[in-house]
Amino acid sequence: MDRLKDKVAIVTGAASGFGEGMARRFAEEGAKVVVADLNAKGAARVAEEIGKQAIAVTTDVSQRAEIDEAVYAAKSAFGRVDVMVNNAGYTHRNGDLLEVDEPTFDLIAAINMKAIYFSTLAVVPMMERQGGGVIINTASTAGLRPRPGLTWYNASKGWVITATKSMAVELAPKKIRVNCLCPVAGETGMLAQFMGEDTPERRAQFKSVIPLGRFSTPLDIANAALWLASDEAAFITGVALEVDGGRCV
């Protein structure tokens, strides 16, 4: 239970869903965790339930100053940042690509894409001084096998995958590993948006293309993130890891 002993991790979007799963799993394996989320009450709940090795910060990842504040909070509380998990995400409702308005498109770009740029600016210099680090981005199977009705979300996750690979190549000499996770649709707050409507019929339709026959869970994603963050994956960088029950086969 000590695969991340003495490591400090920031997890964005950690008040619920995949992010909460990662924060809890990292803490179980010895990490100190910064639970970062726009949902202040949710972040505080998760950090309190984890215990003294976690702190909560209210973070709008679309704002560079707030990401900088999260990194500052991590350094102030725990002295360093070893793992940066860019997990916060946003999507438009499943439907006609022509009906997605510009403010929604801009939010998708800001949260799914630009936030990774901001966090990279904030943590890479610190990681380089420390002798290395790990960056994990949450992408999606949507970036590999796009689903109809989610075009602009799909495109943002394709961007995450390409950015991850390019970051990995450029940051390798600094001993910073960069990988991304590609979950299939999961039991999170965004599921209804992905499906367009949450009905038994739509759930069955989405599950029908997953060979293992179920949605992903926060624990599925957390276990994959844990491995990528740990020294067990010391020679793994630039990978888009499919955590998808066979969806992308």
Distance of CA 226 to the CA centre of its chain: 12
8 A C-beta contact, residue 136 and residue 181: yes
Task: Return the SS3 of 41.
Answer: helix
Whole-number mean pLDDT of the chain? 95
- pLDDT of 201 > 90? The answer is no
DSSP 90-114: --PPSS-GGG--HHHHHHHIIIIII
Is residue 117 part of the annotated active site? The answer reads no
* Cβ–Cβ under 8 Å, residues 182 and 144: yes
Nearest Cα neighbor of 213 from 241, 185, 178 is 185
Q: Percentage of residues in the chain with pLDDT exceeding 90?
A: 88
For the chain, how are helix, strand and coil distributed in percent, rounded to 5?
Answer: 50, 15, 35
Judged against a pLDDT cut of 90, whether residue 31 lies above it is answered with yes
Q: pLDDT at residue 177 above 80? A: yes
Structural domains in the chain, CATH included, are 8-243 (3.40.50.720)
In percent, the amount of the chain with pLDDT more than 70 equals: 100
At residue 92, what is the residue type?
H
Q: Fill in the amino acid letter for 107.
A: L
Determine which one of 72, 90, 117, 153 is catalytic: 153
21's enclosing H/E stretch is: helix 17-28
Q: What is the pTM of this model?
A: 0.95
